[in-house]
């Protein structure tokens, strides 16, 4: 990982992950196995060729920079989803993530999922959610990793399709005697010309239903700072979102930083995701600026298997090293994640107790 080793201290920290797309944790090994099992053709003749495909650099902004033949991140991400077909596949995907969480000392997570990427391929939404629901239960029972998930609208698909997907998913929510899989809604997929306000009606509906609201504000996307502005000041009839996923472009405008502070809106940052495209000094000085201003942030992975296998522990390590943070700063970042989470009180208290017990000069 750019010559950085994960230190025993970072390894030992009890962690909470609030920004991870479950399909972005699909390992090449599981993808290969499920492709064979489900007879899904892959573009790669051998496993080594599949592995090599993870080394490509993406054309992140095809709409802005033009098509140079390289795939976008999301094209690769949705191609990976193709191998997920039956309930056991979704279960295995979830369980593999929780097993990895346990190895990294992640105690609690709020993974993003969506059903639209799968129903578009003819997979019933119940198949997806029954698999995740079993993984949620067994992840806690077998690996001791608790989770409550976040349903995402695919913002680059028609709004009506997202609402239909939401209606179908609602029986799996934590509210209205639902099955307890998810407690929040978010926005994922391509943000180009898809500002948060396009989903205002969906946010109002979800809030009425008793769910939490978060939304991606992708970094250096076209109109990025405007999207952060909408998320802070305009969505939910001007009350603003509860959390922002990414939102690093808040550093571009003082009123955005002030808005985050005044409204107590935290950011789920994914430093390695940005480090792929930004110079070390530029990126980490932005994160330092947010920290110095007092903006509450947590550190997360995003789509680790599609981002050089850098997981939350690697993201924390990079943050400590390149922001020159002390051990107690790192404990505070982990505390932020607990406080920003929507975990049940007893789970929050347990992790905070563990963090309090860490000796961190
Ligand atoms: N960005 C936006 N949407 C996504 C991502 C991402 O990194 N991963 C999965 N959906
Ligand atoms: Zn994300």
CATH of the domain at 139: 3.20.20.140
pLDDT at 122: 98
Q: Helix 125-143 vs helix 159-169: angle between axes, to the nearest 10 degrees?
A: 50
Structure tokens at 265: 């809106």
What is the distance between the alpha carbons of residues 270 and 99, in angstroms, rounded to a whole number? Answer: 21
Q: Measure Cα distances from 233 to 177, 265, 356 in Å.
A: 32, 11, 34
Q: Is 60 in the pocket of ligand 1 (CB under 6 A)?
A: no
Q: Which domain holds residue 20?
A: 14-34+76-354
Burial grade of 208 (CB within 10 A; 0-12, 13-18, 19 or more): exposed
In the chain, which residues have pLDDT < 70? 360-361
Q: Is 77 in the pocket of ligand 1 (CB under 6 A)?
A: yes
Q: Tell me which DSSP letter residue 193 carries.
A: T
Structure tokens at 114: 């969506």
Ligand having the closest approach to the CA of 80: 1
Pocket test for ligand 1, best of 149, 188, 274 (most atoms within 8 A of CB): 188
Residue 209 belongs to some domain of the structure: yes
Residue 121 belongs to some domain of the structure: yes
pLDDT at 59: 86
Residue 228 belongs to some domain of the structure: yes
Q: What is the position in ligand 1's atom list of the atom closest to the CA of 302?
A: 7
Residue pLDDT, tens place only, 75-116:
999 999 999 999 999 999 999 999 999 999 999 999 999 999
pLDDT at 15: 98
- CA 327 to ligand 1 center in whole angstroms: 30
- CA 255 to ligand 1 center in whole angstroms: 26
What is the distance between the alpha carbons of residues 29 and 10, in angstroms, rounded to a whole number? Answer: 26
| β-pair partners for 298 | 268
Residue 312 belongs to some domain of the structure: yes
How many domains does the chain divide into?
Answer: 1
Q: Is the dihedral of CA 34, 24, 350, 214 positive or negative?
A: negative
Residue 67 belongs to some domain of the structure: no
Residue 3 belongs to some domain of the structure: no
pTM of the predicted protein model: 0.98
Segment (H or E) for 272:
helix 271-275
Q: Is 245 in the pocket of ligand 1 (CB under 6 A)?
A: no
pLDDT at 361: 65
Helix (H, G, I), strand (E, B) or coil at 299: strand
Helix (H, G, I), strand (E, B) or coil at 79: helix
Structure tokens at 103: 């190895």
Residue 63 belongs to some domain of the structure: no
Contacts of the segment 272-278: beta carbons below 8 A, 24+ positions apart = 272/301, 272/302, 272/307, 272/308, 272/310, 272/314, 272/315, 272/318, 273/219, 273/246, 273/301, 273/302, 273/303, 273/307, 274/219, 274/248, 275/2, 275/318, 276/57, 276/307, 276/308, 277/60, 277/220
pLDDT at 63: 87
Provide the b/e sequence for 316-339 (b: ≥16 CB within 10 Å).
bbbbbbbbebebeebbebbbbbbe
| β-pair partners for 109 | 17, 147
- CA 218 to ligand 1 center in whole angstroms: 9
Q: Is 24 in the pocket of ligand 1 (CB under 6 A)?
A: yes
pLDDT at 360: 67
Instruction: Tell which residue, 209, 213, 210, has the closest CA to residue 234.
Output: 213
Q: Is 302 in the pocket of ligand 1 (CB under 6 A)?
A: yes
pLDDT at 185: 99
- Check if the beta carbon of residue 260 is closer than 8 Å to that of residue 231: no
Pocket test for ligand 1, best of 60, 73, 80 (most atoms within 8 A of CB): 73
Residue 360 belongs to some domain of the structure: no
Q: Is 303 in the pocket of ligand 1 (CB under 6 A)?
A: yes
Structure tokens at 12: 């030992």
């Amino acid at each position: 990982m750019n010559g950085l080793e994960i230190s025993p201290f970072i390894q030992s920290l009890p962690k909470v992950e609030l920004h991870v797309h479950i399909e972005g944790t699909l390992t090449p090994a599981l993808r290969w196995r499920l492709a064979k099992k489900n007879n899904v053709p892959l573009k790669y003749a051998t496993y080594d060729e599949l592995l090599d495909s993870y080394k490509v650099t993406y054309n992140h902004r095809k709409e802005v920079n033009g098509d140079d033949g390289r795939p976008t991140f999301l094209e690769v991400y949705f191609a990976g989803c193709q191998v997920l077909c039956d309930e056991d596949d979704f279960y295995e995907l979830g369980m593999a993530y929780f097993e990895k969480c346990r190895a990294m000392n992640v105690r609690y997570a709020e993974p993003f999922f969506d059903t639209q990427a799968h129903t578009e391929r003819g997979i019933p939404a119940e198949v997806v959610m029954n698999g995740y629901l079993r993984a949620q239960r067994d992840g806690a029972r077998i690996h001791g990793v608790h989770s409550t998930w976040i349903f995402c609208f695919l913002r680059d698909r028609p709004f009506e399709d997202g609402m239909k997907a939401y209606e179908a998913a609602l029986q799996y929510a934590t509210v209205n005697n639902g099955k307890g899989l998810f407690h929040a809604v978010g926005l994922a997929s391509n943000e180009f010309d898809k500002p948060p306000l396009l989903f205002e009606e969906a946010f109002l509906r979800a809030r009425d239903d008793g769910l939490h609201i978060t939304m991606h504000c992708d970094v250096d996307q076209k109109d990025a700072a405007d999207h952060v502005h909408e998320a802070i000041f305009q969505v939910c009839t001007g009350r603003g979102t509860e959390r922002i996923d990414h939102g690093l472009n808040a550093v571009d405008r003082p009123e955005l930083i002030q808005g985050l502070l005044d409204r107590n809106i935290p950011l789920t940052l994914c430093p390695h995701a940005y480090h792929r495209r930004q110079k070390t000094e530029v990126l980490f000085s932005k994160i330092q600026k947010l920290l110095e201003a007092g903006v509450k942030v947590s550190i997360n992975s995003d789509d680790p298997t599609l981002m050089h296998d850098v997981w939350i522990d690697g993201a924390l390590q990079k943050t400590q090293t390149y922001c020159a943070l002390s051990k107690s700063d790192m404990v505070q970042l982990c505390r932020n994640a607990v406080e920003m989470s929507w975990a049940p009180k007893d789970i929050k208290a347990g992790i905070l107790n563990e963090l309090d017990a860490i000796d961190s000069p």
